[in-house]
Structure 1
Amino acid sequence: MKIFKCLFFAFLFPASAAFSQYNLVIVGGNPGGIMCAISAAKLGKTSVILERTGHIGGLPANGLGATDIATRGATTGLFTDFTGRIKKYYIKKYGEHSEQVKMCSNGYHFEPSVAEMIFEQMLAEYSDKIKIYKMRQFDAEEKNVSTQNNKITKIRVTNRLTKQTEEYQGDVFIDGTYEGDLAAAAKIPYRIGREGKDEFAEDGAGRTYKYWDGPVGEGTTYQADNAVQAYNYRLCLTDNASNRVTITKPRKYDRDEFKSLANDIWDGRHAGVEMLNVSAEMMAANRKNIAKGDTSGIPGDKWGIAKITNRVFLPNQKTDANNQHLGLISTDLPEENWPWPTSGWDWRDKFAERLKSYTLGLIYFAQNDPELPVSFKKSSGEWGLAKDEYKDNENFPRQVYVREGRRMEGTYFFTAHDAIAVTPGSRPPLHANSITASHYALDSHAVRKRESGKIHLDGFISYLSDVYTVPFGVMMPKELDNLLFPVPVSGSHIGFSTLRMEPCWMAIGQAAGIAASLAIDSKLKLKNLDLSILQDKLIDQKATLIYYKDIAPDDYDFKMVQYMGLRGYLPGWEARLSEAMDVQTAKLWRAISGIEMNGDAKLTRGQELKSLYQSLIKRDTK
C-alpha cells in the first residue's frame, strides 16, 4: 500500500532532476509568480514554479473570490485575461443570462475551485515553457541560496513528498512568496512592522485606533512598532442546504475566546462611526428588544453571520467571507501571527492549524452558544462550508491569508504619498518608469486584539487613495543582479497596504517576467535594463501603465496614449483625443517636447498628439 501511495504522489507531483536549469526560477505558485512565468513564456523563456502546497493559485484559489480593486480597468494585462476567462467559463457552463454569470460580476467574483482551474489552464497553454513542481518547500535560510559575482546561481528546496533536497539553477530568480522568503535568504534588507507617522507623515501609520469610516480615537500615538497586521482565512460559505457542511465544535474549542461577542450582540456594539451617537440607554433598550425576538436596532449593526464575517456573494450561492471590519471580534486573529514572516514552516503550519480551530470555533459559538439570542443563532446557523470546495481539506481553505510578510527594501520605497493625489482631483505622483497602474484603499487590518475601553482594534484602518502608478524599483533589489521580488515588494506598512492586492501582484509579476526575459536576451543586469523597452513589451501584452477613463487596452491609440501619458503630456484623467486642440494644451506640449505647436483648433487633440508622438519616437530612436 505504501509503495502504491508513493507512486501515486510521484505521478501527481513529479520529481525534478538535480541541478535543473531554467531561464526563470520562481519560488511561489501565487498569482504574482504565475503571471511572471506566463509573461516570460510569451517571450520564449522557460520557467519553473516551485510551490510549497499541492495546489497553485494562492489566495484567489483559497477563498479570496471578491477581487480587490477599486477602479476596474486601472490594472489590465494578464489580470484582465484572468477575469475574462472567469466570465467565459460561467457563460459557457451556465448560459449568458444565467444567475451565475450575473454573480461573477464580469469575472471579478469567482469560486475558489474556478480560480484554480483558470490558473491551471493559463499555465497549460505554455506547458513547453513552464514546469510546475508542487510540494516543494523553500526555507528562508542562507544555505539554500548560492551566489557568485553578485548573482544567485542556484537555490535548494525540499521535496515534501520524498524529503530529498533538490537544486535549481536559473538565469533570473523570482520571489513570488507572500513572506519574502527567497529574498530574505539572499540577504536582501527588509522591514517588518509599522513605521511611525514621524518617518513618512502617512495617515494611519503606527499605533492608531479609528472608528470605521470615522475619526481616530483615544490611545492613538502614531508610534512605530513591530506589529504585523492580522491574518485570517477567506471562507467559502453557503446557505444552500444541499451544498452546506455543518460546522461542528473543533477539538480545541475554547469558549472564553469568544464570549465577549455575546455582549456585542445583545448591546449592538460595533466599531463603526455610528457608535459615536449610541448611548448606554440605546444599548439597554436594544437588549430588551432582542429578548422579545427582534434583531438589533443599533445603527450600523450587523446580525447573524454578518456580525462576524463580511461577505461578498459569489456564483452558485457561495460567498467570500472575510473578517468583519466592524467587529471587535471576527475571523482575524491579531497578535498571534506576528512571528509568521520570519518563522520557519514548522511554526507556520502550527499557527495555520491554530487559526483554523479558532475560525471554526468562532462560527460554532455564533451558531450554538446558549447565551446568544435564539434568532441570532438561527440566522447564523443557515451558513456552512461549501461541500464542493477544498474536497481534500475538509472543505476548508488550504492557505492562510498572509496580508503582509516581509517588505523588501528595493531601489524604490513606496509610501502612502505615492497613492494619493498631489492636489484634489489630480493624480498621485507620476512614475515615468511605471510597470502598472493600480488602485485600492490604504488598508490595514488590526494588529492587536480588543483592548478594554478602546473604540476599535489597533491598526484597523482604511484611507481613500487614487489610481496610481507603480515604479519598477519596488521589486528591484539594490544589490543582487538577477533577483526580482514582485510580491514582497518594497514599501512602508501603509504604502504596502494598497500594493498587496492580487490584481496588483499579478501585474507586477507580469512585469517581472518581461524584465527577466529582456535581461537574459540583452545579457544585461536587471538594473541596467532600458525600461522604455520593458514598458513597450508590457503595453504589447495589454498592460495599463497609466490609467485613463476614456482609453482601453483594445483601443487603437492605447499605445500612443500610454507613451505620452507617462511623459506628462496628458496629466488629466481623460485623454480627450476627439476634442478640439486648444492653446493651453499646445503650450504644455511645447514646453515638454521643445517642439513648436500652433494649437490649431481645426485639429483634434488626438491628431496633434499623434503627430507629436511620431516626432518623439523618431527622435528617441536616432
Structure 2
Amino acid sequence: MKRHQLGTLLLSLAMGLLGAIAGGCTQEREYDIVIYGGGSSGFIAAIQGAKLGKSVVLVEPGNHLGGINVEGLGGTDIDNHHEFQNSPAVGGLALEFYRRIADAYGIRDSFDRAVQQKLKNPRMWRFEPHVAEQVINDWVRELPITVLLEAPLVEGETPAIMENGTIRSIRTEKGVINGKVFIDATLEGDVLAAVGVSTVIGREANAEYEETKNGIREHTTHCQFAVKVDPYREPGRPESGTIHGVLDESLGTPGTADHRLQAYCFRVCLTDSAENRLPLPKPENYDRSHYELFIRYLKAGGQIYRPRVGLPNRKTDFNGGSDVSHNLNGMNYGYPAGDRNQRQQILAYHRDFTQGLFYFLANDTEVGQLDPDLQKAWSNWGLPKDEFQDNGGWPRIFYVRDARRMVSDYVITEHHADKLNPTPVADPVAVAFWPPDVHNVRTIVKDGYAYNEGFVFGGDWWQPFGISYRALVPRRSECTNLIAPTCPSSSHIAYGAIRIEFTFMALGQAAATAAALTVDRRCAVQDVPYDQLGKSLIEQGQVLRIQ
C-alpha cells in the first residue's frame, strides 16, 4: 500500500471513531467546561480540561478538529527566522503536540535532541495537514472528551442563555449545551459577541493606547510594490476607475482608527510529486480580468512568487504576503461580524480567486510570454491527492489572521513588546515570542501607482513578552464564566504578536487550567488566584517567561 493510501485509511478510521463520539445531542447534561471552537486553543483546552478530571465538551462549527493546522498551515512559525529562535517558548501540551508529530514521522529522537540542546531546525516543527489531523484526532480519543462537529451557534434566535452575568447555556445546531465555564476558542469571537462582551474589529488609533504602529499607516515598506504599477482600467486615466484588487479610496489620516483588517488567505498545500498530484483547478466562474494587476506587475519587471517544497513529502504551505499574492487585501472586512451566509460568501470569493490565480499563472498564454520560467515552475505543481479529500484537495477554511478582539479591563499593547521599556506582566500564562505581525489591509492608489497599506513586521524594537491572564477574561460586569484564549484583550498591533498557533495552544492550556480552578473554587474567572494558576502551569511544563 502506498504511503498516501495508508494515511488516508488511518485518517478515515480516526474520523469514523470521532464521529461516533460526536453523534449525540447534549441538552440533558451540564459540562464543567464547554469549549466552542476546535482550533489550536480549542483542542488543547479540551485535552487539558479532561486531564484535570473535568467533564468537557468540544464544540466545533465545522466538520474537522485542528483549525488551520489541518487546513494547510504546516510551515509552523517556529525557528523559521534567522534573527531569532522562538522554540524555547514552546512548552506544555504544545510541545507534546509537536512531539506526537515527530513520532508520526519517526524522528522523535532527533526532535527531542533538538529541544534539549536548543538546536535551531525549523524542519523539525513542520508537518502535512492530514498528519496533524490524525495526531489530533487520536489524541482527543485517548481522553473522555465529548466532541460535537458541525455544531455552529444558532442564527435567528438568542445563541446564549445568560443569568446574572453568567452563561448558562449556548444554543447550537446540535442542541442546547449547558456548562459551568465556557471557553471561546474561535478566532471570530462568536461566543463573546453572543453574550455581549465588549469587542473591537479593525485598527485602533495610535492615540488610544499611546502606540506608534497602529491605525492607518503613513508609510508601509514591508511587502510594498517592488515596481510601479498603473492601477487604472485605462492606463493613465483615473476617470476610468481602478482595476480589480485596487480600491479607489484615499490613504486617510495616518494614525487614526478604522474598520480595516489585515488580509486573509488560504494556506494552500501544493505538491510537485507527480504520483500524488491533482491538476490546479480552474474555478467555474473564472474571470481573467481579475488578474490584470499581476499582468501589469510582470510587465513592469516584477517577480511573482512561486511554490517551493517546505513540508514533508514534497509539499508546500503556500502563504500570501508578497507585494502581489493571494492575500486579498480589502476583501474581508465583513467577515468577523458577518452571519453564516456572509462569511461563506467571503470564503468562496477567496477560494475562487485563489484557484483562479494559480490556474492563471500555470496556464495563461500572456503569463507564459512575459515570464516563461514562472509559468514552467507553476505548471509543475498541483493539489495533493492525500489532503482534504472531502473537499477536492482544497483547504476547507482560510487563514483568519484577525477578527474580533475582546476589550477588557486589561489590554495588551505594543508597549508589552517594547524591548527598551516593556510593560511588566505580573500574571503571565504563556509567552508571545513573535514580532508584531500584521499584513497589509488594502491596496490603493498613491501618487498615481498601486500601493499596499498596513503591513507591520519585524525590526529590532521588540522582544518576547508574557501574556497576562487578565487579558483572557472579560470585564466582571459583562460575564463571569467566559475565557477567551484566541481573542484576548489586545490592540491590533499586539495581537499580531500573539496570533501564532503554538501560542494559541499555550493559551488554550492556560484557559482550561483556569476553568478547572473556577469550577473547583466555584468562583468567577476573574477571581482565579494567579499563584495557583501559575504554579499549575509551571508543573504542566508551560513556559511563562523567557530568561
Q: Shorter-chain-normalised TM-score: which range?
A: 0.7 to 0.9
Q: 1:115 aligns with which of 118, 123, 132?
A: 132
- Aligned-partner residue type, residue 470 of structure 2: G
Matches within 5 A, 1:383-398: 383-398=381-396
Q: For 1:379 and 1:214, how far apart are their aligned partners in 2? A: 24
Q: CA deviation at 1:11?
A: 4.8
User: Which residue does the alignment assign to 1:541?
Assistant: 540
Q: Which of these two proteins has the greater Rg computed from alpha carbons?
A: 1
Q: For 2:498 and 2:284, how far apart are their aligned partners in 1? A: 37
User: Which residue does the alignment assign to 2:429?
Assistant: 435
- Aligned-partner residue type, residue 370 of structure 1: T
Identity of aligned residues (%): 33
Q: CA deviation at 1:206?
A: 1.5
Q: CA deviation at 1:268?
A: 2.8
User: Which residue does the alignment assign to 1:481?
Assistant: 480
2:143 matches 1:134: no
Deviations 1:213-267 (A, max 9, x none): 899xx95722211111111100001111111111132111111111221222243
TM-score, normalization by structure 2: 0.84
- Aligned-partner residue type, residue 404 of structure 2: R
User: Which residue does the alignment assign to 1:82?
Assistant: 97
Q: CA deviation at 1:530?
A: 1.0
* Contact 2:74–2:126 (8 Å) recurs in 1: yes
Higher relative contact order structure (alpha carbons within 8 Å, sequence separation ≥ 6): 2
- Aligned-partner residue type, residue 49 of structure 1: L
**Closer, same or farther in 2 for the Cα pair 1:8/1:123, shift >3 Å?**
closer
Structure 2 gap ranges (5+): 1-15, 79-84, 112-118, 226-249
Deviations 1:356-376 (A, max 9, x none): 110000111111112123332
* More deviation, 459-468/52-61: 459-468
Q: For 1:85 and 1:268, how far apart are their aligned partners in 2? A: 45
User: Which residue does the alignment assign to 2:161?
Assistant: 146
* Contact 2:224–2:451 (8 Å) recurs in 1: no
User: Which residue does the alignment assign to 1:62?
Assistant: 71
Root-mean-square deviation (Å): 2.7
SS in 2 for 1:174: strand
SS in 1 for 2:202: coil
Q: For 1:112 and 1:104, how far apart are their aligned partners in 2? A: 20
Q: For 2:513 and 2:17, how far apart are their aligned partners in 1? A: 36
SS in 2 for 1:155: strand
Q: 2:55 aligns with which of 36, 46, 51?
A: 46
Q: CA deviation at 1:332?
A: 1.3
2:451 matches 1:451: no
* Contact 1:140–1:181 (8 Å) recurs in 2: no
Deviations 1:89-116 (A, max 9, x none): 11169x979xxxx999464111011111
* More deviation, 469-478/448-457: 448-457
* Contact 2:435–2:458 (8 Å) recurs in 1: yes
* Contact 2:54–2:516 (8 Å) recurs in 1: yes
Deviations 1:510-539 (A, max 9, x none): 011000101111122111111110001101
* Contact 1:445–1:459 (8 Å) recurs in 2: yes
- Aligned-partner residue type, residue 264 of structure 1: Y
User: Which residue does the alignment assign to 2:494?
Assistant: 495
Q: For 2:99 and 2:270, how far apart are their aligned partners in 1? A: 24
User: Which residue does the alignment assign to 2:177?
Assistant: 168
Matches within 5 A, 1:578-589: none
**Closer, same or farther in 2 for the Cα pair 1:379/1:38, shift >3 Å?**
same
Q: CA deviation at 1:10?
A: 7.5
* Contact 1:104–1:110 (8 Å) recurs in 2: no
SS in 2 for 1:153: strand
**Closer, same or farther in 2 for the Cα pair 1:431/1:167, shift >3 Å?**
same
User: Which residue does the alignment assign to 2:412?
Assistant: 414
User: Which residue does the alignment assign to 2:216?
Assistant: 207
* Contact 1:75–1:436 (8 Å) recurs in 2: no
User: Which residue does the alignment assign to 1:231?
Assistant: 264
Q: For 1:415 and 1:539, how far apart are their aligned partners in 2? A: 25
Matches within 5 A, 1:132-531: 132-139=147-154, 143-159=158-174, 166-208=175-217, 209-212=219-222, 219=251, 221-269=254-302, 301=303, 305-306=306-307, 313-323=310-320, 325-327=321-323, 329-372=324-367, 373-423=371-421, 428-451=422-445, 453=448, 456-464=451-459, 465-479=462-476, 480-531=479-530
- Aligned-partner residue type, residue 313 of structure 1: G
SS in 2 for 1:498: helix
TM-score, normalization by structure 1: 0.74
**Closer, same or farther in 2 for the Cα pair 1:248/1:35, shift >3 Å?**
closer
SS in 2 for 1:136: coil
**Closer, same or farther in 2 for the Cα pair 1:440/1:412, shift >3 Å?**
same
SS in 2 for 1:131: strand
Q: CA deviation at 1:334?
A: 2.1
Aligned pairs, number: 487
Q: For 2:542 and 2:501, how far apart are their aligned partners in 1? A: 15
Deviations 1:322-362 (A, max 9, x none): 00x332x3111122210110111111112211111100001
